[in-house]
Every structure is written in structure tokens, then in C-alpha cells.
Amino acid sequence: MSSSHEIPTARIVLSPDRERRVDPGHLWVYAGHVREVKGEPGPGDLVDLYTAAGRFYGRGFFNPHSKIRVRILTFQDEPIDEGFWAARLEEAVRLRERVVSGTNAYRIVHGESDLLPGLIVDRYGELLVMQTLAFGMDRCKDILADLLRSRTGAQGVFLRNDAKSRALEGLSLEQRFLRGEGPTTVEVYEGDARFLVDVERGQKTGWFCDQRENRSATASLARDLEVLDVFCHTGAFGLQAALHGARSVLGLDVSRDALVLAREHAVLNKVEQICAYQEADAFEELPKLERTGHRYDLVVLDPPAFARRKQAVTPALAGYKEINLRALRLVRSQGFLVSCSCSHYVGEQDLWRTVLAAARDARRRVRLIENRSQSRDHPVLASMSETRYLKCLIMQVL
């Protein structure tokens, strides 16, 4: 950031179509909704937005390289300075202090949901992991890091700016300590469970904080049950089940590296006698398990996103149907199926209809126990459906 107080460099006039078709609180302005650019703003420059009728609309970061031409920071005519950033971060941290408990691994800043578009910050113990996914926010990363350290007392800030979406913004990829230094593997806890988070090589920022409360809700059902944890990654769902009294846990994942860490987690939590892991493609392995005749009391499906683009929804739904069909055939009567989707483009009703279609084909009846979403440290901004992406259906299979 060149100075503590940025001055808008241009005026962007919005098309009347945007006002008619887009929620007024939505923070993205797509290229197709820009009627005119008055000035020559560069990537990451601050610009003012005006309606076609000439009324001030908002202020945000411009990027000519991105389909999202402007990311709105505020709908007020206010300075974007150190005080602005400090106030926004204070609101985000205060919310987590109220809604998060029993863990030292949680999201502090959830991008647009915290009115900080393009900024993700997760806390793992004394280390903050930051992603700046938009050009303007990337220019502010130093002041943001200093403010976050001051407010949270964290010792270090590690940049996980290796997301492919940065390339679409015209940004380079990088991973490094922005503030502080030290090990990049951190031990974290969720309730009684202990896990190792590799912030340099792990998925996303190193851990799936968004599933924390779903893991707890699932584990509450697990006492005395045989559990099959499909797409188990480093084993978090199954390990929580084991710590809550599961009789046995079998974790399946295609990643050998993830399973190495899952086995370490089992030892760390003293449940290695209960938990077993197998390197396998779920789509191939579930039919094999079905043919053996063995059945499980609780099956967890937590696959990666099958639809990363809108055009991928149709094949993604076919994949979700197939995996749920196979899982339903493996659940004992009165057992449980936990089915998740982290694909934003697959909505809650899409997933529910897909599970019902799979249940019909499997000749099983299901009843919904809970319809869950992401953990409370990943809030949803009402004006942006994009901020609600995680679905978790907890069902009993009859």
C-alpha cells in the first residue's frame, strides 16, 4: 500500500441493468455492469462508483484484468485509510471472539462476509495464515498484517497466495512468511482432538475450519458405531468419531500424503487401534465394499468440490448421485449418512434432490436429522449467496 490513505483515481458509472438485477448489497461489479470508466485506473486502484443517474454508489478496488471489475469496500463516502482497515478487522475479530470456542484453529476474516472482499485469514495457534485473492487487497497486505498482529497478538503471518484464482487477477503466486518466522506445521485442537496443520502444503490455508462444527455434530452420533469416512483426507471426521466412542473407523482417500498425516493424527489422539486407513478411489472402492457384504452404521461423504465452475454442475450432480447411491447401499438400517458438498454452484436443494434420487435408486428411505452449513466463523453475507457454499446433510437411513 503506497500510503495510509488512498485517493480514488477514477469514476465508474454503473449500467442501469445492474441496479435492476443485482442485490444492492452485493460487493462485486462485473465487467458487463460497467457503463463507463472516467479516468485511467490501474489494477488495484481505488475508484468511486456512481449510478447512471449520477448518484454516489460506493467505493472499491478496480481491476481491468478480472471479470469482477470492482470489489466494493464501502457504500459510504468515507476514506479508505488505516482507520478504515482497523475498524473492519476489529469487527471481524470481535465476532470470532463471540462465536468460536473450544479451538485454536478458526477463520478470522471470511472475505466478502466480513466486508473485506478478497481477504481470507485463518488462525492456527499463534500463526495467522493470510490469502489476498484480489489485486487491491494484495496491495494492502502489509498494513493488514500489522493490524492483525497488533489486534490478535499472533506471532507470525504466513502468506498462502498460491490459489489459482490469483492468476485470473493478474497476480503472481507466492508462499512465504510476511511477518515473523518459524515452523510451518502447527498443532491445533478442536475440543479433545489434536491435529497437525501444515500451513505451507496443506489444502486451502492448511485446514478445513469450515467443517469443524459438522465434525462435532457427526461425532455426537458415533458412540458404539462402525464408521466409514469417505474422502477422509487427514482423518478429521473419523478421528472425532473415534474420540466420541466409535467402535471402528475406516478412512478412505486417494491421497497417500493425506493418509500419512491421518495415521499420525490417530497416534496423536491415541485412537490408532480404532482407526484404519486405505488408499483408494472412492468411486471404485465403495462398489467393492458393497460386494463384500459388510455394512456400516455411519458413513461420511466429504468430497472435494465436484463443480468449480457453473458449467460443471451437470456432471457434478451425476457424481454426487453416484457417490451417495453407493454410500446408501453400505449403511445398515437405522444407521446414518452424512453427505457434504463444498461446491458453491451446487445449491442445498440440488444436493437434497440428488440424495433423494440416489435413495430411490438404492431403494432406501432417508429422514433428515440436520441440514447444516459452514461453521459460524464462516458467516454468510445475506446479499451475497456466494458466501454460503458448504452443505452438510445428516440423515438416518431406514
Supply the residues annotated as catalytic. Answer: 342
| Interstrand relation of 156-161 and 119-124 (parallel, antiparallel or unpaired) | unpaired
CA distances from 320 to 231, 260, 395 (A): 13, 26, 15
Separation between Cα atoms, residue 264 and residue 270, nearest integer Å: 10
Max CA distance (Å), the chain: 70
CB 169 within 8 A of CB 135: yes
Cell 452420533 sits on residue: 221
Cell numbers linked to 114 = 466480513
Residues found in the chain: 398
Alpha helix stretches (DSSP H) within 344-385: 348-362
DSSP label of 15: P
Cell 479508505 sits on residue: 80
130: Cα separation from own chain's centroid: 13
CB 169 within 8 A of CB 140: no
